[in-house]
Amino acid sequence: MDRLLSALAGLLRTALVLGVLAAAGWWAWQQPFMELPRTWWELSRADPPSSLPVPVEGVAPGSIADTWGAGRSGGRSHEGVDIFAPRGTPVLSSTRGIVSSIRETGLGGRQVWVLGPALERHYYAHLDDWAEGLEEGAVVQAGQPLGEVGDTGNARGTPPHLHYGIYGSDGALDPLPRLRAAGD
């Protein structure tokens, strides 16, 4: 009988410890300092969106020309869409995500990369400027300002526009069908 009581006491202690650890883990997961890993975890398990809002304020999907795959200098092909608007027009995140990079380099000039649902990478390029207070590692919501339409990088001297691209695990994806699926 003593052995049975001892074994039962051991099981109760183990259950209590596991319960305390589970409660502590749940509590920690809800804390503000866990927002970034929690968001990454949620994004990694989400399906890619079938429709997306146009990431330039005031632009209707029907006004975006289909330039996907068009030839570019150096034998490249266009891996995105160009959304024309007046310089300084707000560029908005098309999805909830994590700002993975803010930089000024190469063909895209001033650019922002956002890690979105299904861990697709959303690319916003040729920005005139970045949104005030935007930082790498920030969690952004769909519709949150990322910057302003411009002509930086290899777009210098062209009409101001946003180059918007989406990159999945298999490479570049045409964003236009998703933008048009949202409707005008």
pLDDT in tens, 90-131: 999 999 999 999 999 989 999 999 999 999 999 999 999 999
Domain ranges of the chain: 2-30, 61-181
pLDDT at 127: 98
Q: Among 35-44, 89-98, 132-141, 175-184, where is mean pLDDT lowest? A: 175-184
Please state the CATH superfamily assignment of the domain spanning residues 61-181 in this structure: Glucose Permease (Domain IIA) (2.70.70.10)
Decide which of 79 and 51 is more confident. Answer: 51
Distances (CA, A) of 136 to 10, 33, 48, 102, 114: 48, 15, 22, 6, 9
Asked whether the predicted pLDDT for residue 20 surpasses 90, the reply is: no
pLDDT at 33: 78
Taking the model in full, what pTM does it have? 0.85
Asked whether the predicted pLDDT for residue 71 surpasses 80, the reply is: no
130 near 74, Cβ under 8 Å? no
Q: How confident is the model at residue 89 (pLDDT cuts 50, 70, 90)?
A: very high
Closest CA to 35 of 143, 165, 137: 137
